[in-house]
Amino acid sequence: MFLKEIVFFILMVFSALMLVYEWLSIYNRINYKLILYSILLVLSTGALLITMHLRMITLRQELENTRRLIFVNMNSLEKRIEKTLNHYLKVIEERINEFGRRMYR
């Protein structure tokens, strides 16, 4: 994982812990189970966000690989079409030259 994501993850958990603690201390009813559950909620949300980020990176790499593959296939297809067209152009030129020779005889 990246350092930036880890720092934000830790900051998210710490801020959730402090928010719930301060919220409960206003009423003088600190419940550690509630604090634990809020930390678990924030941890799971953070893990989900990090997982989505890593999936987006993977998808970006797959799209880039697909783009490269299409580009390579396009170049090879272009070369094959050019070779075929050059062959037919030579055949057509030979026939035109042959008709021209016949007309001048």
pLDDT by 10-residue block (mean), the chain, 105 residues: 78 84 83 84 85 92 94 88 93 89 75
Q: CB atoms < 10 A from the CB of 77, how many?
A: 10
Q: Which two tokens stand for residue 5?
A: 């994501």
Write down the pTM of the prediction.
0.59
**Cα separation, 45 vs 37, whole angstroms:** 12
Residue that the structure tokens 């909620």 belong to: 41
Contact 70, 52 (CB under 8 A): no
pLDDT of 105: 65
DSSP state string for 39-89: HHHHHHHHHHHHHHHHHHHHHHHHHHHHHHHHHHHHHHHHHHHHHHHHHHH
- pLDDT for the residue 21: 82
